[in-house]
Amino acid sequence: MDGVIGFEDGDVASLLSSPEGKPTIDIGKQIFCNSAVNMKNIVAVGFDMDYTLAQYKPDTFESLAYDGTIEKLVTNLGYPKELLEWSFDWTYMVRGLVLDKKRGNILKMDRHKYVKVAYHGFRLISKNEKVATYGNTFTRDAFDGPDYAHIDTLFSLAEAYLFAQLVDFKDSNPEKMSEIKDYYCIYTDVRSAIDMCHRDGSLKEMVAKDPKKYINEDNSIVPMLKMLRTSGRAVFIVTNSLWDYTNVVMNFVFGARTMDGDSSLSLDWLQHFDFVITGSAKPGFFHDENRASIFMVETDSGKLVNTDNGTPLAQVGSPDLELPNQIPNKQCKVFQGGNVGHLHKLLNVGSSSQVLYVGDHIYGDILRSKKVLGWRTMLIVPELEKEARVLSSSRETRKRLQLLRSERDQIEDQTHHLKWSLEHGNLDAGEREKLTSKLDVLQVQRARVRASHQESQKSFHQKFHPVWGQLMKTGYQNSRFAHQVERFACLYTSQVGNLGLYPPAKYYRPGEDLMAHESDVLTK
C-alpha cells in the first residue's frame, strides 16, 4: 500500500462525463452493494478518520505499534528482554480471525461459526485435534465471550501476531515465563501494553513527527469531497482521535506533506467539512441515551468551550466570545464528545436513513450505526482491492474447481449406491463380483479426484494469502468476516475515494439473493 493512491480532479470529471454514461471502473475500486442505497435520499455523508480518510501503511505503522507494545511488555510488565530482538511480519495475520485466549489458538471460521483453520501459535492444528477441541460438544460455542478476542481491525493485526509469538515462546521456554502467565494472562498483558502505548501518546507522537512515513498519500479524497459538497450534501467527520492528532493527520491527508512541526499546520482542510466531531468515544457515541457532553473546540488553541446542544455558551468573565456562526469564512465547526443526538441536531436531518456513514471498523463504525440508528453504511476494506483482482483473474481456476467438486460428488454418490447394493441387495455371485470390481475402480477414481480437488483448492486460496487464504471465504462458505460485511455494511469498497468514481445521485442496488435450489437451476 505504499505510494500514492487515487486520482486527480480531472480523472473524476472524465469518468463521470463518459460519453457512454457508464464508465468502466477497475474491479479493485468498485463499490459493492449488499443493501440498496439511493444517494438521492442521502443528505449527509460522514467519515471516520483513522483507516478511512487516513490509510496507514501497514509495514511502518503496524510495526510501530508492535515495537511499542513489546517495549511496554519488557519495561513495564517484566517480560524477558530477548523479546526486544523480535520482528514483526505485517503480512502474516488477516482480519476476521478469532483468538482463543485460554488455549493460545488463532482461528478462522465460516459464517456458521465452524472452525475451518486453526493454529496454536504458529503451529497448524490437525483436523482431528481441531474437531476434538471445537466440534465435539453438545452445545456449540458462539465464540463471543470473554475467552475470545476478535481481530476485526487492521490495527489488531500486530496484537494477533505478538500473541502467537508469545504462545510459541511460552511453549518452547517454560522456564522463562512465570507459571502464572497462562495464555489468557499473556493476551491480557498484550492488551495492557497496547493501551499503555495509546495512553502515553507515543504512537501518535511518532506519526505526528513524520506523517509521510506512516500514512499513504491519496489524491482521490479531495475531488470526492468536493463532489459531495457540490451536490448539496452535508459532510462530517466522527473520529475517536482528539483534535490535536486529527489536525496533524488531516493536514497530511489534504496535501500539507512537508510539515515542520506545529508551525506549518493549517486549518484549510476544514473547508471540506460542515462538522468535525473528535473524541467521540465510538461505539458509545451512537447511543442517544449516552449523556456525554459536547464541547466546541477552539481550533487555534485546542481549548474546549461549553455548549448547549452544540451552540457555544459564553464563559463567565469572557462575554466577548466569538460564536462560530458569526465568524466569516469559518463554516466548519469542530466539536469534542457528545452523542448521535447532538450530531442529528447539527445536521438537521429528518430521518436517520438520510445519513451515510463510511468507516473501517465493523463494530465501532458499521454495526452500531446501522443496527441501532438505521444509518446507511459503507465499510472500507483495503484488502478487497487485491482480493477482487485475484478473483477476476482466476475465472478459469474457479470453473475447474467447480468441475472437480461436481465430479467428486458424482463419484461419491455412485460409490455409496454400490456399497448399499452390495450390503443389502439380493445378488448372485456373478453380480456381486461385477459390482465389487466396479466399486474398486470408483474408489481409485474418488481418491484421485479428491486429491486433485484439495490440491487445486489449496493452491487457489494461497493466491490470496499463503496461510489464511481468501479473506471472504473459508472453503466454499463465506467467512465470519464476510458474513459480518454482508449483514451490516450496505456498501463496501477498498478505498474511501472510490465514492468519487460514481455519480452523486447513484442508486446502488444489490444483486439478487439466491438460495441453493435457485443457484443450482440458474447456473446450469
pLDDT tens profile 332-386: 689 999 988 889 888 988 888 899 999 998 776 666 666 667 889 999 999 999 9
Is the pLDDT at 435 greater than 60, yes or no? yes
Give percent of the chain with pLDDT exceeding 90: 64
What pLDDT was estimated at residue 317?
52
Give dist(CA 397, CA 394) in Å, integer. 5
Of the candidates 377, 507, 474, the one whose C-alpha atom is nearest the C-alpha of residue 118 is 474
Which residue in the block uniquely carries the three cell numbers 489534504?
Answer: 254
What pLDDT was estimated at residue 6?
55
Give dist(CA 89, CA 87) in Å, integer. 7
H or E stretch at 474:
strand 473-474
Q: Using 50, 70 and 90 to split pLDDT, how confident is the model at 263? A: very low
Of the candidates 158, 163, 157, the one whose C-alpha atom is nearest the C-alpha of residue 122 is 163
- Residue 406, SS3? helix
Give percent of the chain with pLDDT exceeding 70: 85
Q: What is the DSSP string of 116-141?
A: EEEEETTEEPPHHHHHHHHSS-SS--
Lowest-pLDDT range of 10-19, 176-185, 273-282, 442-451 = 10-19
Lowest-pLDDT range of 69-73, 157-161, 517-521 = 517-521
Beta strand pairing status for 44-47 and 234-238? Answer: parallel
Beta strand pairing status for 311-312 and 275-278? Answer: unpaired
The distance from CA 318 to its chain's CA centroid, rounded to whole angstroms, is 46
Give the tens place of pLDDT for each residue, 439-493.
999 999 999 999 999 999 999 999 999 999 999 999 889 999 999 999 989 999 9
Is the pLDDT at 327 greater than 50, yes or no? no
Q: Using 50, 70 and 90 to split pLDDT, how confident is the model at 329? A: very low
Classify residue 105 by burial, with Cβ atoms within 10 Å: 0-12, 13-18, 19+: buried
What pLDDT was estimated at residue 17?
46
User: Is the full-model pTM beyond 0.95?
Assistant: no
Give the tens place of pLDDT for each residue, 202-224.
899 999 999 999 999 999 999 99
Q: What is the dihedral of CA 226, 230, 234, 238, to 10 degrees?
A: -10
Is the pLDDT at 79 greater than 60, yes or no? yes
Is the pLDDT at 494 greater than 70, yes or no? yes
| Mean pLDDT score of the chain | 87
Is the pLDDT at 312 greater than 80, yes or no? no
Beta strand pairing status for 473-474 and 44-47? Answer: unpaired
Give the tens place of pLDDT for each residue, 5-50.
655 454 555 445 444 555 689 999 999 999 999 999 999 999 999 9
What average pLDDT does the segment 251-267 reach? 71
Give dist(CA 85, CA 89) in Å, integer. 13
Residue, of 410 and 6, whose pLDDT is higher: 410
